A and B are shown apart, each in its own frame.
Chain A
């Protein structure tokens, strides 16, 4: 059976759509010109480097370069899937990040809602600065502080000992590793993450609040009936983007807080990639194969989250 040909009307519709777009661009050409530097950046630093992904299918020799190295089809992937540590790292990454996502994601929204309710502007600014500050500390510094605080002879255990309570092995326990990762992540990223939602809140039409007040809504009701629904599109987009990054866990954080005792729970995919790239013999083809696998899973997750958001009646990332 022949496939049904596109109707002339459909083709005409497509044509006029592109024409409209072109007319639109030409009309606002000065504004669109502003896009060009960003597009150049994107092409140079995001799209062109993607050519390097071909290394996943090559036997890389630095002298031959990325393009000149020999194609070896899926051989690198054969070695990747042979290593049980790889599969374990994939599942561990998903596990850690899903937990992290569901626990940490609401915090910036909550903080933004609460900060929005503060009426004393100075206090609000001081508080916002205080909660945003940890974002600017590198994980090396933060992990150094945490290790010192939670060590056997650190602040917390010394305090426990002072109270006559048993000390806790925070750093060397698999049970405490994920809570430590999540709590430190909340502390470090909540303030920064709240900025996006605060920006979304500031864009809400004030008349909606005035109308709600006239209707007798309390501040809590205004928060849940006016503020939250208005920032939902932003929340959805941020959620979709977070889902798209589920396979890329915070390498700096986990790498710096992990040790031999927590190896079985801390070797996420990024740590695995680091280990095979820098601790074993160099094999950029092998590590690119792992990275490519990660990117594909990330993309699939992103598309799935986008579909799910649309299916639930919300806004998606792609129109």
Chain B
């Protein structure tokens, strides 16, 4: 009996101890999350006194990177930083950051795909670090790039301070005015076009492209056989190439727009959206698209053009760097000189007008954890400020002077061996934290001049065509900076919705009308809100 009592008391004590341990573990907070810190200290020669371990979440894959190579070391030594890099896969970027931000687990700073509704929400909740009021004076280069985005100042007005650094797409090398989004440039096999007697132009209507695809399907100039995919478009390319070409307001970025009467409308319900859908369905039924295009992820569509070489038309995009990547891929996989076989062009709507989105000058953003210490924040800002300077931009995009590039009478010349890129030499370069690579790609000698020139030419062509046709979807700051529950709810993945309509059985027009009607209960409340807030 006594023995039993002892055992019982012991076991009860053990259980209580275990409970306490569980509770302590569950309720304790990581000691490193405290937001303490002193101002960043420097040595007399301007170098940093303390080595800081800084955590960063970014979408650059550094699995192949050697963080002690010359490139990475230059930055980590200059700023005396030991990186704790958290790679975030593109597909889970939004989800992961959402969870980290909401749970207070954000690394010291992160690359975040800016969503206005979320931004307002997070700022309101104090989930982002608030910049010191004098930050623009302390980091003037970064402030200049920040001002070029257009978003920064507007957001500051709304929330009363700086919490987000929108990343500028272009800073020093804007290719055209007005600037349109880089999307909507396609690549055409010009050798096949010649063989089937198809004329090369700078812009084609969707029907003209389908004619070319039909010709290729019929004559198979590349002797591809049953594997041929005349148009290797995935769901996203179909949205851009078929639907947006006919209605600039068919995309999520511009779906809610102010009509000529000053009232808000929903673009996917416009008749011109149906025009694009009909063409896409026709292309699908005629076997011009891949029968399973809707299962394609990321690069699968593009790979059919540049890796396996089984496609006559592929989505490309307007950046010179994309064209360079295509060149490298075609040489490597198909042993083809892409300059001989690729023609880049724009897509016009069936009425001959060009449609695209006004390029707002930012894409994604840099945000800081509210728990970051002042010392770490200042160190990162120093690095960002440096990264936008001419000297740093050359280093980030060209590598080491004299080794990877040289300046010949003001002309930048790449010294990298033919066919190699800076990414091959220094993989996982994530240090270009602020200004996007698009800016430098306009002048980057690592990209062939003909590609850079063509890219600028097409940007200019887009600007001319959209000015003439007056069909550009202007960036609506009122709508973009508006946030409400109704707006959050009326958020659809249009490429999936359109792909589903294209593939549905029955009459497309009836299906589309039913689809539009089915969305009204969540679309109309937002339209009503927008009209009451902003309508003329």
Contact = CB atoms under 8 A, between A and B. Distances in A.
Contacts of A206: none
Interface string B487-522: 111010101110110011000000000000011011
Residue of A36, A172, A259 ringed by the most chain B CB atoms within 10 A: A259
Given A33-B12, A61-B124, A278-B94, A260 B102 contact: no
Nearest to A263: B500
A80 to B, nearest CB: 10
Contact of B295 (A147, A264, A280): A147
Given A33-B11, A63-B125, A281-B117, A152 B292 contact: yes
A185 interface: no
B104 A62 contact: yes
B500 A260 contact: yes
Contacts of A82: 489, 521-522, 525
A151 B295 contact: yes
B503 A79 contact: no
A44 B126 contact: no
Residue of B15, B125, B495, B503 ringed by the most chain A CB atoms within 10 A: B503
A172 B488 CA distance: 29
Interface in A107-147: 147
A261 B522 contact: no
B103 A281 contact: no
Contact of A44 (B22, B127, B235): B22
Given A29-B8, A61-B124, A260-B294, A79 B485 contact: yes
Contact of A278 (B11, B12, B95, B485): B95
A124 B512 CA distance: 55
A40 B22 contact: yes
Interface string A32-63: 01001100100010000000000000000111
Interface in A291-318: none
Contacts of B485: 79, 283, 286
Given A79-B489, A281-B488, A260 B496 contact: yes
Contacts of B500: 260-261, 263-264
B291 interface: yes
Place the interface of chain B in its size category: 35 or more
A284 interface: yes
Contact of B503 (A62, A261, A282): A261
Given A37-B18, A84-B518, A280 B4 contact: no
B15 A172 contact: no
B489 A259 contact: no
B7 interface: yes
Given A36-B15, A283-B485, A259 B491 contact: no
B4 A152 contact: no
B320 to A, nearest CB: 31
A215 interface: no
Contacts of A79: 485, 489
Nearest to B517: A84
Contacts of A207: none
B121 interface: yes
B127 A63 contact: yes
B485 to A, nearest CB: 6
A171 interface: yes
B292 A282 contact: no
Contacts of B487: 281
B102 A261 contact: no
Interface string A54-81: 0000000111100000000000000100
A261 B125 contact: no
Nearest to A170: B292
B19 interface: yes
Nearest to A61: B125
Contacts of A284: 102
B271 interface: no
Given A63-B125, A282-B102, A283-B485, A261 B294 contact: yes
Contacts of B521: 82-84
B26 interface: yes
A169 B290 CA distance: 12
Contact of B493 (A63, A169, A279): A279
Given A37-B18, A82-B521, A147-B295, A282 B8 contact: no
A279 B491 CA distance: 9
Residue of B101, B489, B497 ringed by the most chain A CB atoms within 10 A: B489
Contact of B26 (A44, A61, A280): A44
A151 B292 contact: yes
B95 A172 contact: no
Contacts of A172: 291-292, 294-295, 503
A62 B103 contact: yes
A33 B117 CA distance: 51
Interface of A: 29-30, 33, 36-37, 40, 44, 61-64, 79, 82-84, 147, 151-152, 169, 171-172, 259-261, 263-264, 278-284, 286
Given A63-B125, A169-B291, 18 more contacts: A30-B4, A40-B15, A44-B22, A63-B126, A79-B489, A82-B521, A84-B522, A152-B291, A152-B292, A171-B295, A259-B295, A263-B496, A263-B497, A264-B504, A281-B117, A281-B487, A281-B491, A283-B488
